[in-house]
């Protein structure tokens, strides 16, 4: 994503080129590019001048956006990650819950505060 951010508005870039520049497996890039497209972070263009480009400006895509697209969640434990999670029977007396909520809040704040342009 940072490689594509550097080339923002300069036209699409092939995954083969990203693979060479970043020393990342092309097979792996093809897998994650599909997830990033589904999340609306990447767009692709077919043809001789085709390739991938960011769907939005690097200033508006955060590290949190990328991690959520690839991992689903950036949060350490399910009970504080998903408000739809079935409440734990010990939720009201859990001594660790406050710690996990603090970790969650700092993690989200940090990752959502770093954009591709920052990187």
Q: With a cut of 80, say whether residue 101 has pLDDT above it.
A: yes
Q: In this structure, how many other beta carbons lie within 10 angstroms of the beta carbon of residue 107?
A: 15
Show me where the domains of the chain are located.
2-112
State how far the Cα of 50 lies from the Cα of 107, in Å rounded to an integer: 36
Residue 75: predicted pLDDT: 78
Q: What is the dihedral of CA 62, 7, 27, 46, to 10 degrees?
A: 110
Q: What is the DSSP string of 61-116?
A: -BHHHHHHHHHS---S-HHHH-TTSPPPTTGGG-SSHHHHHHHHHHHHHHHHT-BT
Residue 77, CA distances (Å) to 48, 71, 84, 94 in order: 45, 13, 13, 13
Residue 84: predicted pLDDT: 66
Residue 8: predicted pLDDT: 95
pLDDT tens-digit map of 43-100: 999 888 889 999 999 999 999 999 999 998 777 777 777 666 667 777 778 888 888 8
pTM of the full predicted structure? 0.84
- What CATH fold (topology level) applies to the domain 2-112? Arc Repressor Mutant, subunit A (1.10.10)
């Amino acid at each position: 994503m940072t490689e594509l951010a550097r080339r923002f508005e300069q036209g699409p870039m092939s995954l083969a080129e990203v693979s060479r520049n970043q020393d990342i497996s092309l097979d792996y890039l093809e897998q994650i590019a599909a997830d990033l497209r589904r999340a609306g972070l990447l767009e692709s263009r077919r043809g001789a001048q085709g390739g991938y480009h960011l769907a939005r400006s690097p200033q508006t895509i955060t590290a949190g956006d990328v991690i959520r697209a690839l991992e689903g969640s950036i949060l350490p434990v399910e009970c504080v990650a998903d408000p739809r999670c079935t409440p734990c029977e010990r939720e009201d007396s859990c001594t660790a819950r406050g710690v996990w909520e603090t970790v969650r809040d700092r993690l989200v704040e940090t990752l959502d505060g770093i954009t591709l342009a920052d990187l």
